[in-house]
């Protein structure tokens, strides 16, 4: 066989990574994330000082760990930025299988770690990893790859629409066994949004939405503690709920009320003094609103709106350039970050029932921060490959 007819050997994915590659950065998106993450560090520091002192004897314990996770996240984002999107497309199915395996692993007695009645964590020694966070990212990558490969089938046949829903149903069941209803809600919203943007027929989308909503109602009504949370959300100030299922919400609303327009001043929150449990996690925004008021809250809200809109526009530009995998990644990550931020903020202000969801790039939590920065690296990579492709034309 001549050398001209030989089949070229596949190049290992690590050889496609060029650490010296000149990257075209979306500076607006990067600066918005850096700003919200920096303000998040400030929020976590202020909200966690007294809790850290009581539990660890060091007022900056949580702040230092949060800073370490931010540095790790930045390093991971830099690595992800150097990996071609074709690599993620190739390994998207494998990542999905790995996420399912981790979700099964966390449910094995003696392996998964239980905190506050939920088994959602795997202990890695230096941190508790949360497989559901990895599953969110893996799902977006899998769906982006699937929509790219099966776009015509998804848009024209029921089979193309139903196939990914089987995988998502399995994922939802595993998450509900932890239980982590919040993660299921975010994943389903992001996935349905991505399918809609992928061009599924209106009838398919509406039917699936009705089925998902019906299933959600059944899940809520069949679980006493979820139903209790829902009643606590509806009437948090009743004598039964104010110190029960509605306790976190009432304390959060008190924080917002104390903040008024300009806030009580950075570090001067009263609610973080053990009134609002572990305020540096899911309810960190409430402490920020108390200390910085309406104006400070609008700054954070504005940054998240900018990140969402910028990411969606990035997806639209990639779609117009026929870079469909890149487009679906940008769309999916925008929806994932946007929905999770909306739900977290909605819970903080009493717009939505209490859910255990972090505020992206802000709340304390190693798994959440690392996955958010991987998402940032992917979004920046989408921008780079699109700009690099345009420069070659």
Whether 13 shows a pLDDT value over 60: the answer reads no
Percentage of the chain exceeding pLDDT 90: 54
Q: Are 299 and 379 within one domain?
A: yes
Q: Are 59 and 357 in contact (CB under 8 A)?
A: no
Q: Look at residue 356 in the predicted model and tell me its pLDDT.
A: 76
More confident residue, 4 or 141: 141
Angle at CA 370, nearest 5°, toward 368 and 372?
70
| Residue 228 belongs to a domain | no
| Residue 258 belongs to a domain | yes
Whether 374 shows a pLDDT value over 60: the answer reads yes
Highest-pLDDT range among 38-47, 178-187, 211-220, 223-232 = 38-47
Q: Look at residue 1 in the predicted model and tell me its pLDDT.
A: 45
| Residue 155 belongs to a domain | yes
What is the average pLDDT across 344-373? 90
Q: Are 66 and 97 within one domain?
A: no
276: left (phi over 0), alpha (psi -120 to 50) or beta: beta
What residues contact residue 361 under an 8 Å CB cut-off, 6+ apart?
33, 36, 37, 40, 369, 372, 373
Q: Look at residue 228 in the predicted model and tell me its pLDDT.
A: 67
* Domain boundary residue, one of 199, 222, 245: 222
| Residue 296 belongs to a domain | yes
Residues 224, 24: Cα–Cα separation, whole Å: 51
Q: Are 355 and 181 in contact (CB under 8 A)?
A: yes
Tally Cβ neighbours within 10 Å of residue 315. Answer: 26
Whether 3 shows a pLDDT value over 50: the answer reads no
Q: Are 37 and 128 within one domain?
A: no
263: left (phi over 0), alpha (psi -120 to 50) or beta: left
Q: Are 383 and 257 within one domain?
A: yes
Q: Look at residue 19 in the predicted model and tell me its pLDDT.
A: 65
**Structural domain range at position 120:** 90-222
Identify the band that residue 6 occupies on the pLDDT scale cut at 50, 70 and 90: very low
Which ranges in the chain belong to alpha helices (H)? 27-56, 61-81, 85-105, 131-149, 151-156, 158-177, 181-197, 202-222, 224-234, 247-259, 284-320, 324-348, 366-392
Q: Are 195 and 165 in contact (CB under 8 A)?
A: no
* Domain boundary residue, one of 178, 198, 222: 222
Give the mean pLDDT of the chain.
Answer: 87
Q: Are 184 and 215 within one domain?
A: yes
Read off the pLDDT of residues 227-252 as tens digits, 9 standing for 90 and up. Answer: 666 666 677 777 677 777 778 888 99
Q: Is 248 exposed, middle or buried (0-12, 13-18, 19+ CB in 10 A)?
A: buried
Q: Are 360 and 9 in contact (CB under 8 A)?
A: no
Q: Are 103 and 181 within one domain?
A: yes
| Residue 109 belongs to a domain | yes
More confident residue, 1 or 359: 359
Q: Are 244 and 389 within one domain?
A: yes
Q: Are 109 and 74 within one domain?
A: no
| Residue 170 belongs to a domain | yes
What is the average pLDDT across 179-188? 86
| Residue 365 belongs to a domain | yes
Number of domains in the chain: 2
Q: Are 361 and 281 within one domain?
A: yes
Whether 176 shows a pLDDT value over 90: the answer reads no
| Residue 375 belongs to a domain | yes
Pairing relationship of beta strands 112-115 and 128-129 according to DSSP bridges: unpaired
Q: Look at residue 7 in the predicted model and tell me its pLDDT.
A: 44
Percentage of the chain exceeding pLDDT 70: 91
Read off the pLDDT of residues 282-335 as tens digits, 9 standing for 90 and up. Answer: 899 999 999 999 999 999 999 999 999 999 999 999 999 999 999 999 999 999
Q: Are 240 and 216 within one domain?
A: no
Q: Are 186 and 214 within one domain?
A: yes
Whether 377 shows a pLDDT value over 90: the answer reads yes
* Domain boundary residue, one of 194, 222, 250: 222
Q: Locate 366 and state its tokens.
A: 């190693």
Q: Are 286 and 375 within one domain?
A: yes
Whether 5 shows a pLDDT value over 60: the answer reads no
**Per mean pLDDT, which range of 96-100, 116-120, 142-146 is the poorest?**
116-120
């Amino acid at each position: 066989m001549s050398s001209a007819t030989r089949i070229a050997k596949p190049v290992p994915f690590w050889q496609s990574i060029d650490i010296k590659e000149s990257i075209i950065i979306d500076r607006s998106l990067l600066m918005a994330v850096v700003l919200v993450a920096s303000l998040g560090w400030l929020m976590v520091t202020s909200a966690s000082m007294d809790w850290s002192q009581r539990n660890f004897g060091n007022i900056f314990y949580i702040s230092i760990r949060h800073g370490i996770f931010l540095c790790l996240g930045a390093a991971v984002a830099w690595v992800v930025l150097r990996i071609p999107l074709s690599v993620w497309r190739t390994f998207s199915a494998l990542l999905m299988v790995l996420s399912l395996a981790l979700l099964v692993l966390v449910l094995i007695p003696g392996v998964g770690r239980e905190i506050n009645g939920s088994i959602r964590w795997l202990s890695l020694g230096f941190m508790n990893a949360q497989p559901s966070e990895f599953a969110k990212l893996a799902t977006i990558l899998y769906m982006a790859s699937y929509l790219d490969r099966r776009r015509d089938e998804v848009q024209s046949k029921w089979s193309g629409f139903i196939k990914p829903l089987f995988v998502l149903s399995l994922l939802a069941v595993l998450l509900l066994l932890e239980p982590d209803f919040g993660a299921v809600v975010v994943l389903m919203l992001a996935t349905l949004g991505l399918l809609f943007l992928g061009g599924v027929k209106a009838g398919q989308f509406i039917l699936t939405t009705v089925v998902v909503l019906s299933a959600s109602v059944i899940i809520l009504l069949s679980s006493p503690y979820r139903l209790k949370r829902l009643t606590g959300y509806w009437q948090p100030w009743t004598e039964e709920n104010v110190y029960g299922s509605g306790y976190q919400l009432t304390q959060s609303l008190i924080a917002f009320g104390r903040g008024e327009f300009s806030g009580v001043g950075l570090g001067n929150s009263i609610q973080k003094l053990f009134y609002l449990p572990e305020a540096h996690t899911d309810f960190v925004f409430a402490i920020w609103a108390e200390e910085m008021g309406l104006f400070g809250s609008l700054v954070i809200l504005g940054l998240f709106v900018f990140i969402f809109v910028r990411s969606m526009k990035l997806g639209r530009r990639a779609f117009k350039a026929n870079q469909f995998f890149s487009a679906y990644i940008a769309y999916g990550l925008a929806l994932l970050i946007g929905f999770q931020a909306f739900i977290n903020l909605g819970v903080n202000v009493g717009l939505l029932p209490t859910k255990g969801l972090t505020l992206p790039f802000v709340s304390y939590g190693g798994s959440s921060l690392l996955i958010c920065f991987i998402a940032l690296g992917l979004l920046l990579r989408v921008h780079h490959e699109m700009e690099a492709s345009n420069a070659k034309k």
